[in-house]
């Protein structure tokens, strides 16, 4: 992984004046923990379906049945969505020809996340008419909690070849979002727009926003998104920082999932709420296994593990004026020097829902350690208050 290099920077410097995220009314309680009142609406604990190496996208025949696996996209499921769906559909069509399936073949999709719902709609678009989705749940899932940042971060690729393969899926996906943005996508045409992303320029050991691998670099290098600029960001609170400005797509995941639901209803594709104990329990000719973390047991895949992300959902934000993303490492003033991985942001603001502050990237963590969660929520709020220029008023 390389940090941004000076050769990539070509545009004129900018001086952007941005509305600061409102955190004056965000407080800590007597224990020093974040209070869900004032500017903070909710604390959210959620899990990314990580997989060591690449996401699993494969097809197999088990007797008369075809099983397509499509899971393990970690913190980049939305970033890899359309490329992954395309690959899974191509593998399925090959098997469908072998098995001589027609368009009435019975298809069960396990999972109602972005993978399950988008594959259901893609199958319908390809002409298949006997489709159902079976899912344990479709509300408190990674796909809905996702921040919706199109960037190559939070995957567990282990080699340059795997990284390049993932980037290829991401590039296909970017093209998909470009057509969503233009209103020409066959499945969904809302919830996506280009957005400015700011990250730091500070060097190791300095204070403030630090140089960060934003995950947009591969797209900028391929000429698919604008190259970054360097300049100054001045917030309405008076603080200002030298920063780097990228552009990428913001996927409003709640809006897109609602659009998927609408399209599923229109096409009479049911979502049945059930837990599948074993793939052998599914008797349809075709199974798409889009079960995210559930694939660890359903497909006996010991490469799958949870990575915990925490989010603070905000209240009372002037969201229209906050149409930007901050994704940066950050060294708080007067704090012990930290050495965080180059691609993991400490300050992460997204304009989704009422506005989000996040996010943590805690590997092999299932979210059940409340003491750790509270400590991390406190860190998120404390450092965001400092970053956006508010006093640290504890009780
Ligand atoms: C905090 C956070 C921030 C994120 N931010 C981003 C981002 O900015 N950009 C990005 O690209 N990605 C991001 N992601 C990652 C992205 O959300 C996921 O990669 C993606 O949503 C995975 O989609 P999925 O459909 O595979 O899984 P999920 O959304 O997890 O859905 C899995 C489905 O399978 C069902 N299921 C599981 N087991 C069973 C079973 N045994 N029987 C029946 N049903 C079962 C579940 O109930 C669910 O419906 C983020 C994730 C989190 C948690």
Percentage of the chain exceeding pLDDT 90 = 92
Q: Which domains, and CATH codes, for the chain?
A: 10-50+193-250+306-388 (no CATH), 51-147+253-301 (3.50.50)
pLDDT score at 46: 96
Geometric angle at alpha carbon 140, from 137 and 145, rounded to 5°: 135
Q: Are 37 and 395 in contact (CB under 8 A)?
A: no
Q: Is the CB of 75 inside a 6 Å radius of any atom of ligand 1?
A: yes
Q: Are 35 and 29 in contact (CB under 8 A)?
A: yes
pLDDT score at 341: 86
Q: Note the residue count of the chain.
A: 395
Q: What is the pLDDT of residues 201-233, one digit of tens each?
A: 999 989 999 999 999 999 999 999 999 999 999
Q: Give the Å distance between the CA of 388 and the centre of ligand 1.
A: 30
Q: Is the CB of 148 inside a 6 Å radius of any atom of ligand 1?
A: yes
| Residue nearest atom 18 of ligand 1, based on CA coordinates | 77
C-alpha–C-alpha distance, residues 242 and 210, integer Å: 10
Instruction: Give, for 266, the enclosing helix (H) or strand (E).
Output: helix 253-266
Averaged pLDDT, 293-317: 97
Structure tokens at 166: 């993932």
DSSP 72-92: --GGGTTTTHHHHHHHHHHHH
Q: What is the pLDDT of residues 322-381, one digit of tens each?
A: 999 999 999 999 888 988 888 899 999 999 989 999 989 999 999 999 999 999 999 999
Averaged pLDDT, 134-140: 94
Atom of ligand 1 nearest to the CA of 81: 11
pLDDT score at 255: 95
Q: Give the Å distance between the CA of 267 and the centre of ligand 1.
A: 23
Closest CA to 349 of 389, 312, 308, 394: 312
Q: Is the CB of 88 inside a 6 Å radius of any atom of ligand 1?
A: no
* H-state helical runs in 99-248: 114-125, 142-145, 160-182, 217-221
Torsion of CA 47, 53, 56, 62, to 10 degrees: -120
Q: Are 352 and 254 in contact (CB under 8 A)?
A: yes
Instruction: Give, for 278, the enclosing helix (H) or strand (E).
Output: none
Q: Is the CB of 112 inside a 6 Å radius of any atom of ligand 1?
A: yes
Closest CA to 346 of 358, 334, 362, 363: 358
| Residue nearest atom 33 of ligand 1, based on CA coordinates | 111
Spell out a b/e string for 285-309, using b for 16 or more CB atoms within 10 Å of the CB, else e.
bbbbbbbbbbbbebbebeebbbbbb
Q: Is the CB of 195 inside a 6 Å radius of any atom of ligand 1?
A: no
C-alpha–C-alpha distance, residues 153 and 325, integer Å: 15
Averaged pLDDT, 22-47: 95
């593998």: which residue's tokens?
91
Percentage of the chain exceeding pLDDT 70 = 96
Q: What's the pLDDT band for 12 if we cut at 50, 70, 90?
A: low
253 three-class SS: helix
Q: Are 313 and 353 in contact (CB under 8 A)?
A: yes
Q: Are 300 and 165 in contact (CB under 8 A)?
A: no
Sign of CA dihedral 301, 345, 113, 99: negative
DSSP 346-386: SEEEE-STT-EEE---EET--S--HHHHHHHHHHHHHHHHH
Q: Is the CB of 34 inside a 6 Å radius of any atom of ligand 1?
A: no
Structure tokens at 248: 């990428």
Q: Is the CB of 286 inside a 6 Å radius of any atom of ligand 1?
A: no
pLDDT score at 7: 44
Q: What is the pLDDT of residues 65-119, one digit of tens each?
A: 999 999 999 999 999 999 999 999 999 999 999 999 999 999 999 999 999 999 9
Averaged pLDDT, 306-326: 97
Residue 70: CB atoms within 10 Å: 30
């Amino acid at each position: 992984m390389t940090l941004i290099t000076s050769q990539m920077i070509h545009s004129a410097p900018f001086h952007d004046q941005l509305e600061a995220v409102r955190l004056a009314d965000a407080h800590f309680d007597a224990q020093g923990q974040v209070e869900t009142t004032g500017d903070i609406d909710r604390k959210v604990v959620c899990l990314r379906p990580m997989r060591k190496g690449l996401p699993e996208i494969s097809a197999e025949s088990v007797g008369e049945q075809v099983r397509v696996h499509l899971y393990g996209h970690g913190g980049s499921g939305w970033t890899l969505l359309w490329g992954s769906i395309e690959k899974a559909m191509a593998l399925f069509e090959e098997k469908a020809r072998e098995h001589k399936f027609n368009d009435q073949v019975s298809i069960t999709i396990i999972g109602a996340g972005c993978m399950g719902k988008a594959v259901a709609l893609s199958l319908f678009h390809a002409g298949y008419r006997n489709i159902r989705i079976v899912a344990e749940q479709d509300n408190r899932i990674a796909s809905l909690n996702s921040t919706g940042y199109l960037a190559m971060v939070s995957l567990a690729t282990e080699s340059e070849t795997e990284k390049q393969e993932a980037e290829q899926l991401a590039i296909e996906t970017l093209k998909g979002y470009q057509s969503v943005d233009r209103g020409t996508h066959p499945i969904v045409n809302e919830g996506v727009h280009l957005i400015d992303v700011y990250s730091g320029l500070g060097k190791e050991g300095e204070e403030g926003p630090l140089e960060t691998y934003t995950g947009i670099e591969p797209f900028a290098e391929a000429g698919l998104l604008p190259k970054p600029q360097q300049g100054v960001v001045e917030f309405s609170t008076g603080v200002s920082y030298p920063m780097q400005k990228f552009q990428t797509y913001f996927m409003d995941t709640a809006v897109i999932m609602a659009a998927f639901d609408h399209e599923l209803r229109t096409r009479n594709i049911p979502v049945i709420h059930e837990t599948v104990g074993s793939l052998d329990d599914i008797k349809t000719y075709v199974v798409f296994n889009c079960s995210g973390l559930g694939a660890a047991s359903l497909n006996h895949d010991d490469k799958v593990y949870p990575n915990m992300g925490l989010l603070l959902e905000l209240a009372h934000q002037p969201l229209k004026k906050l149409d930007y993303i901050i994704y940066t490492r950050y060294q708080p003033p007067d704090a012990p020097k930290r050495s965080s991985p180059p691609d993991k942001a400490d300050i992460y603001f997204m304009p989704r829902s009422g506005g989000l502050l996040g996010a943590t990237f805690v590997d092999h963590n299932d979210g059940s350690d409340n003491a750790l969660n509270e400590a991390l929520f406190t860190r998120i709020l404390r450092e965001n208050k400092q970053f956006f220029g508010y006093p640290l008023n504890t009780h």
